[in-house]
Amino acid sequence: MLELWLEGILNAFSFYNLLIMLGGSALGLVFGALPGLGPTLAVSLMIPITFGLSPQASLILLSSVYVSSIFGGSIPAILLNAPGTPGSAATGFDGYPMAQQGKGGVALGISATASLVGGLISVIFLMALAPVIAQFSLRFGPAELFMLALFGLTIIAVVAKASIRRGLVAGGLGLLLSFVGQDLMTGQMRFDFGLIELQDGIPFILGLVGMLAASEAFSLAEKKGSIARAGKIEGNIFTGVALCLKYRLTLIKSSLIGTFVGALPGAGISAANFIAYSEAIRTSKDPDSFGKGNPEGVVASEAANNAVTGGSLIPTLTLSLPGNPSAAAFLAGLMIHGLRPGADLFSVNVNITAAMFAGLILANFVFFGFALVGANFMAKITLIKNEMLVPSILVLSLVGGFALRNRFSDVILIIFFAFLGYFLKKYKFPVVAVVLGLILGPIAERGYHQALMISGGTHSIFFTRPISLFLFLMIVFSIGSQFVKPYIDKYKAKKKQSE
């Protein structure tokens, strides 16, 4: 058996496979960086290419494309506030303010390092604990997913610094937008106004691109200068690498969150991203600095989203249950080559599995290498004049919106979200809350209804299942601490004064 493992690992290091990995990583970065494309499309498009390749080479190609495309999404999120993938939405919350401070290169360094660590930790878990985690993830039923989504939504209380009321209204707006389209539980069309284009619902990537990227173009149109306000770049990628390693605890915690949430079928990469980000805020000594360029925010978000790659492959490889659409595409690639998820992958075909694991690990280093080479150059985007950036961001957002489903109506939706995001920001409503509502709304609603169907309509299901109860207590603690915190701060200040 050990020989087969070694054979597989050595196979991954062959010149041919390394070349495939380099090409796959470069393609993955492009797919990730362009809004509207993303990892699922990237992996899906690679499947026909793998027909002519050996199973090892195929899985190495798919792994490198998958891993790199997720990191690729953070590049425009940091430099232009335009997340390339849904999983990098939270990266822009602190990455973009860093870019505005001239620290785009530093933020990219943090992002690359956190992604590398997150990716590696998740692969280690995939290799060592796949069957155990896969079994545990099956205990996550609808009630747990509902509580997990609610837990993610509690971040609204944290991000709504200016006014909790406006935060809740913004979150509500996001939730309402997530209800547009056919209700999968009842088949009822909701808020579609008779328009066929709205019957499939609003993909949250449109909201992300419109409210974060295109609306930013509107804001830039009102100012002269460049994104880097001081007109110069401070620090470089190596500063970012060093800075990232200072947040070791956040790095590991977010990687574990990403791995675990990634392993939950139906939770998705964006949920992992936001949960890790909100957890970083909650446990930070300086939560007010988040959203203003706190490197820890980038660390949390990026470690979690890349950890999803390994996490999502855990149920995929062991139970044939893909953790997200990209993992589903990966599963298709696996099966096309006659590989069946389950025990066979870890016994009969272990040489292929070993090559894939080695490929996943190497792919993380490859995109890290690409980042080291290119980040300082890419950071110069933040020095380009606003006048040039406005049409560029608008065109990229519009084409990204169109490319998602090849629909003209999506271009209109992007414009709608751009104006919505612009006015929300202008009047101090946290746009993050709308995005959160849009992403977590469907998970929460589906989980709630399915749980009630299982329990026969009684709400006790949410409090009698141990994981669900634990998550509920976390929610209570999380919200309660926000209310209690001002009093504790007051008490501490008083105590300090008296001393």
Partner 1 sequence: MSILLQKRAGELVFLFLIMIVSIGTLQIASGYRMLSRQFPTVIAWMMLIFIVWEIILFIHKMIKEKDQVSKPAKKGLPSDELIKRWAVIIAALIFYVFFLRRLGFVIVNAVFITVILWVFEERRIPIILFMVLLLAVGLYIGFSQYLNVPLPRGTIFSSMFSF
Q: Please pick, from the candidates 391, 458, 459, 491, the single residue that binds partner 1 as defined by CB under 8 A.
A: 391
Residue list 197-236, contact with partner 1 (CB under 8 A): 218, 221-224
- List C-alpha distances in Å: 291 to 15, 97, 458, 471: 44, 7, 40, 25
Residue 454 in the binding site for partner 1 (CB under 8 A): no
Closer to partner 1 at the Cβ: 56 or 69?
A: 69
- Cα distance between residue 84 and residue 285, in whole Å: 30
- The amino acid at residue 42 is A
Stretch in the footprint of partner 1 (CB under 8 A) among 34-42, 294-302, 468-476, 484-492: 34-42
Q: Please pick, from the candidates 406, 460, 497, 498, the single residue that binds partner 1 as defined by CB under 8 A.
A: 406
- DSSP string covering 382-427: GGSBHHHHHHHHHHHHHHHHHHHHT-HHHHHHHHHHHHHHHHHHHT
- DSSP string covering 191-251: S-TT-GGGTT---HHHHHIIIIIIHHHHHHHTS-SBSSTTSS--S-HHHHHHHHHH-HHHH
The minimum distance between CB 258 and partner 1, in angstroms, equals: 27
Residue with tokens 């993909």: 203
Residue 448 in the binding site for partner 1 (CB under 8 A): yes
Residue list 35-94, contact with partner 1 (CB under 8 A): 37, 41, 45
Residue 459 in the binding site for partner 1 (CB under 8 A): no
Are the C-beta atoms of residues 308 and 262 closer than 8 Å to each other?
Answer: yes
Q: Please pick, from the candidates 18, 242, 412, 469, the single residue that binds partner 1 as defined by CB under 8 A.
A: 412
- Cα distance between residue 15 and residue 6, in whole Å: 17
Closer to partner 1 at the Cβ: 249 or 388?
A: 388
Count the alpha carbons within 13 Å of 410 in the hemisphere toward its beta carbon.
22
Residue 325 in the binding site for partner 1 (CB under 8 A): no
Residue 398 in the binding site for partner 1 (CB under 8 A): yes
The minimum distance between CB 253 and partner 1, in angstroms, equals: 31
**Which residues make Cβ contacts (< 8 Å) with residue 177, sequence separation at least 6?**
202, 207, 434, 437, 438, 441
Lookup: tokens for 270: 């964006």
Sign of the alpha-carbon dihedral angle for 18, 19, 20, 23 = positive
End-to-end CA distance of the chain: 67
Closer to partner 1 at the Cβ: 44 or 115?
A: 44
Task: State whether residue 247 is helix, strand or coil.
Answer: coil
- Cα distance between residue 44 and residue 29, in whole Å: 15
Are the C-beta atoms of residues 121 and 307 closer than 8 Å to each other?
Answer: yes
Q: Please pick, from the candidates 372, 399, 475, 479, the single residue that binds partner 1 as defined by CB under 8 A.
A: 399
Residue 445 in the binding site for partner 1 (CB under 8 A): yes
**Mask for 142-171, x = binds partner 1 (CB under 8 A):** ---------------------x-xx-xx--
Closer to partner 1 at the Cβ: 61 or 251?
A: 61
- List C-alpha distances in Å: 236 to 33, 107, 241, 309, 335: 20, 9, 9, 27, 43
Closer to partner 1 at the Cβ: 138 or 173?
A: 173
Count the alpha carbons within 13 Å of 376 in the hemisphere toward its beta carbon.
10
Residue 191 in the binding site for partner 1 (CB under 8 A): yes
Residue 22 in the binding site for partner 1 (CB under 8 A): no
- Cα distance between residue 140 and residue 330, in whole Å: 22
Number of residues that bind partner 1 (CB under 8 A): 54
**Mask for 343-382, x = binds partner 1 (CB under 8 A):** ----------------------------------------
Closer to partner 1 at the Cβ: 185 or 493?
A: 185
Closer to partner 1 at the Cβ: 319 or 390?
A: 390
The minimum distance between CB 459 and partner 1, in angstroms, equals: 12
- Contacting positions for partner 1 (CB under 8 A): 30-31, 34, 37, 41, 45, 163, 165-166, 168-169, 172-173, 175-176, 179, 183, 185-186, 188, 190-191, 218, 221-224, 385-388, 390-392, 394-396, 398-399, 402-403, 406, 408, 411-412, 415, 423, 426-427, 441, 444-445, 448-449
